Amino acid sequence: MKRVALLVQYDGSKYSGWQKQKNAITVQEIIERALFKITHNVVKTFAAGRTDAGVHASGQVVHFDIECVIPGYSYSDVLNSLLPSTIRILESVEVKDSWHSCYSAIYRHYRYVINNSKFPNLFINNWSWHRYQKVLDEVLMSSASKRMEGEHDFFAFQKSGSNRTHSITNIKNIDIKRVEDLILIDIKATGFLYGMVRLIVGQLVLVGEKKISPEIFTDRWVNKKKNDVRESSPAKGLCFVNAVYEENVFKNINNNDFFPVFLIKGIS
């Protein structure tokens, strides 16, 4: 029996998230079907983080235990020959039995992309939120977000239906920047609550449009005013960039391969 880790990229547009569900097609189900074709046995996979319906991943980390003669580094090629084009295995490696894709992760990185152009862009429409009504003030958004760094109770940014026993997590860093008409919101945290990033982004957009002040934004999450947090950003703008571990088990991929910064050139 060996443990194999996969670095997985997927377009979540047509999937009901990562985790297997009844009467829905998910990324986990598709990968496990492919593993069954290889081994003729049921193989259970474990991911670094669950993604909801419509959410993408550029560097999801998955592991599974398997009894098979195929070497660990070959699973990427073998699986890619069986998987649809919307799911790609970037790299596969054999890891120690004690290593776990979820529990061994130090932190996870999500990115949300907002297209703040007046005009839609079909080339990025499935991977961004076209929020065009007002020019967003990304500096104000960044200022409002900084107090969230560190360990706090983010109860206000947790959707109903979570099975977590508490809503405390540690946000290592939040970075908000504009790249021409794109606003990139990068959040790195030890863990994420159910729906957390999309709720944060929804509130930050209100700040950027000056519909609420940074002080109101802070008051809502600090004082757990969940009923005031009504706006949630759409799933398609969210991407699970990668998970970070003490030792990088994937040797052939660098950070730019996960989610390269791309530009939309202005029309002169």
For 112-155, the pLDDT digits (tens) are 999 999 999 898 899 999 999 899 999 999 999 999 999 999 99
Asked if pLDDT for residue 268 goes beyond 50, the answer is no
User: Residues with Cβ < 8 Å from 79, sequence gap 6 or more?
Assistant: 6, 31, 34, 35, 38, 89, 92
For 152-174, the pLDDT digits (tens) are 999 999 987 777 788 999 999 99
In this predicted structure, what is the pLDDT of residue 164? 78
For 45-97, the pLDDT digits (tens) are 999 999 999 999 999 999 999 988 889 999 999 999 999 999 999 999 999 99
Distance CA 193, CA 59 (A): 19
pTM metric for this prediction: 0.92
Q: Find residue 130's DSSP bridge partners.
A: 115
**Phi–psi pair at 33, nearest 5 degrees:** -65, -45
User: Residues with Cβ < 8 Å from 60, sequence gap 6 or more?
Assistant: 7, 8, 9, 10, 18, 27, 47, 48, 49, 51, 240, 242, 243
Asked if pLDDT for residue 263 goes beyond 50, the answer is no
Alpha-carbon distances, residue 65 vs 3, 19, 26, 46, 82 (angstroms): 4, 18, 20, 10, 19
Sign of CA dihedral 160, 165, 171, 172: negative
Domains of the chain by start residue, with CATH: 2-103 (3.30.70.580), 107-240 (3.30.70.660)
| 147: its two tokens | 């107090």
pLDDT above 70 as % of the chain? 95
Catalytic residue ranges:
52
For 192-226, the pLDDT digits (tens) are 999 999 999 999 999 999 999 999 999 999 999 99
Residue 107 pLDDT class (50, 70, 90 cuts): very high
8 A C-beta contact, residue 56 and residue 240? yes
